[in-house]
Amino acid sequence: MKGNSNRRLAIEILIAILLFVIYLFLYLGISFDAKYAKTVYNLTNENWYIVDTTDLDPEEDLTTSSHVTDNMTTIGLDRGKTIILATKLPNELFVSPCMQFNVAALAVRVYYDGNEIYSYGTEDYEAGRFVGKQCCRISIPAEAVGKNVCIEYRSTRQGKNINHSSTFYGEASDVFKAYLQQRRFPLFAGTFLVIFGLMLIITLPLMSRKSELKIDMIFHGLLLFDSGIYFLSYNNLMQYYVTNNWWLTTMEYLSLFMIPFLVQGTVLFNRYVRQKGMSKFMFFFDLSLPVVTMILHCLGISHMYNFLTIAHVFIILQGAYSLFVMVRQLRYFNRHHGSEDVLQNGERAANAIMIGVNCLTCSSVFDVVFWYVLEKLGYRVVHVVNGVFSIMGSLILVACIVLSYFYHVIANENEKEIRGALEGIAFNDILTQISNRAHCEQVMEELTREQRTCIVISLDLDHLKQVNDNLGHQIGDKMISGFAELLRQVFVMPLLLGRMGGDEFIVILDGDDVARCERLLYQLTDYMNSANAQLTMYSYSASWGYAGSYEVADGHIQKTYMLADERMYRMKEEHHAMDEKLRMEEIKTVAMQEIIKRTEEGEE
């Protein structure tokens, strides 16, 4: 059994790896278009020089200035300090020449021939507001082609690094395409995660009844949506959807701070995860980070960036805790896998989710550690990392969610089958295989709540006691089951067909068609007469009474049944009276036959 379990687990892991490899090949297949490479220059590989002034002669020879060499790609600045860099643009004509590069926490001004042609962040910095990320897109004057251009950087944070990676220059449309091509992985993955997450969030409430709404799956959708927003914001791609700088920075940091909380939600609300430990505490502990920081941020007390280190600590703690829960969950599953547990597929679904969640958290922890290492080494993190490990972890989580969904479907089908079997045992009469008294009363309560208009028929099987006393209970049981079969043949698709106990039966018909009800009862009489023609030990006879729900106050079905029951007993009394009359006539006949016999014997 364990060998089969291990093989199944290996197959599941291979499926997840295969999905990821397919995605990776698709990504690698979208190579950088050669057309863009010919029309777009990457000024990272050009010569940048440190100059003293922005009022630079466009024709000045820059080789006399300090050169920013390839092994000095990053320059650290104290808060408020500025540095001016200059480069000579390629001598190639474009219809709409454009320069584009990314900055973070830097106020930027671009000059040509002493005139400012672009500015970002200066007003915010001077007003004391936070200066976030920006993809600077500068339209270059036609006369500046082949001339010197200056960029003035002012640091808005202590020890801020300046990096010239991915500074594109060329035709505006091609620069835009090249920028997106360079970030095709986070663009494709982030957009996919946002759409997939929204689909989960929107469709699950519509597909599930309120009582069966899977909260953990809602958290899956929120986690994927939040991760997609973060990857797009982190890589300066959300600015094509949102132009307000405050919202851009808020979305980036809030989506990052929400990740530990949403990860914990997938663990806490998964009903198949048995080893939850401190999940509730961790859930509210992780929730405190985005709530508190957002309040302080909106009130202008402190920017969310100031809590970045705390957020990284939260991510590391959440990663460690999720790993601990997953290990305990897998150990529990392996210990109990040999048993025939009806929730076995639910456990597999939980395991798949835990593996996916841990891939995301572990890759996020790796990105955090890598981030700090690169900061110490002096590299601009966004260019070097781009959160690529977290993106991979998110895509693996998507594969695990899909795998988990199939296990959930199987588990739900198993539960429905078992629930149906248990309900059959609890609500079916064993002898007749129609509804028992408990189910009949439940159905009548439901019909009362729904205010259904219906006709209730109360039936009583005559002479059952005499059959039991004279022929035995085995024949009596056969008589009961045979009568139930006659009822099934006559009353097709009623609202209810059941045995209330002993010789009492109930039928509920939809609507208020009394004529139909009487036709069916006459048909039942014909069916009983036909059956009696083939019986020798006993014969079928029944008493009945019917009433409509419109005959009682508030349409109460149980009161309607009581009224029908009263009418049934009137018919039963008539049958008893008739039986008594027949019995007396039979006694008289027997007595007369006896007198005649004796008279004949006397004459002889």
Burial class (CB in 10 A: 0-12, 13-18, 19+), 137: middle
Distance in angstroms (rounded) separating the CA atoms of residues 438 and 446: 13
Residue 122 within a domain: yes
| DSSP structure class, residue 261 | H
Residues 165 and 195 in one domain: no
Residue 15 within a domain: no
Residue 451 within a domain: yes
Last residue of a domain, one of 157, 181, 205: 181
CA 108 to chain centre: 44
Residues 469 and 356 in one domain: no
Residues 301 and 204 in one domain: yes
Residue 26 within a domain: no
Residues 83 and 130 in one domain: yes
Burial class (CB in 10 A: 0-12, 13-18, 19+), 428: middle
Rounded to a whole number of angstroms, the distance between the first and last alpha carbons of the chain is 94
Helix (H) or strand (E) holding 316: helix 308-336
- Give me the CATH number covering residue 248: 1.20.1070
Residues 345 and 444 in one domain: no
Structural domain count of the chain:
3
Residue 497's pLDDT is what?
93
Residue 334 within a domain: yes
Last residue of a domain, one of 162, 181, 200: 181
Write out the two tokens for 354. 């835990």
Cβ atoms of 234 and 254 closer than 8 Å:
no
Residue 286 within a domain: yes
Q: How far is CA 602 from CA 502, 571, 593, 597, 599, in A?
A: 51, 46, 14, 9, 5
Residues 177 and 208 in one domain: no
- Give me the CATH number covering residue 90: 2.60.120.260
Cβ atoms of 464 and 472 closer than 8 Å:
no
Q: What are phi and psi of 495, to 5 degrees?
A: -65, -30
49: which strand partners? 67, 86
Cβ atoms of 347 and 250 closer than 8 Å:
no
Residues 261 and 384 in one domain: yes
Distance in angstroms (rounded) separating the CA atoms of residues 72 and 83: 14
**CB atoms near residue 36 (< 10 Å):** 21
Residue 599 within a domain: no
Residues 82 and 136 in one domain: yes
Residue 489's pLDDT is what?
92
Q: What are phi and psi of 209, to 5 degrees?
A: -70, 155
Residue 191's pLDDT is what?
87
Residue 603 within a domain: no
87: which strand partners? 149
Residue 484's pLDDT is what?
92
Pairing label, strands 168-171, 40-42: antiparallel
Last residue of a domain, one of 181, 197, 225: 181
| DSSP structure class, residue 512 | -
- Give me the CATH number covering residue 534: 3.30.70.270
Residue 181's pLDDT is what?
81
Residues 158 and 88 in one domain: yes
Closest CA to 62 of 140, 170, 143, 146: 146
Residues 413 and 542 in one domain: no
Residues 256 and 369 in one domain: yes
Which residue range(s) make up the domain with 55? 37-181
Q: Along the chain (604 residues), what's the average pLDDT of each consecutive run of 10 residues?
A: 49 58 54 56 71 72 61 61 85 87 86 88 84 86 86 79 71 86 82 86 64 69 90 85 82 90 83 66 87 89 84 82 75 57 60 79 78 58 57 80 73 63 70 88 90 92 87 90 92 91 92 91 92 87 91 88 91 73 57 62 59
Q: Residue holding tokens 């439940």? A: 442
Residues 230 and 169 in one domain: no
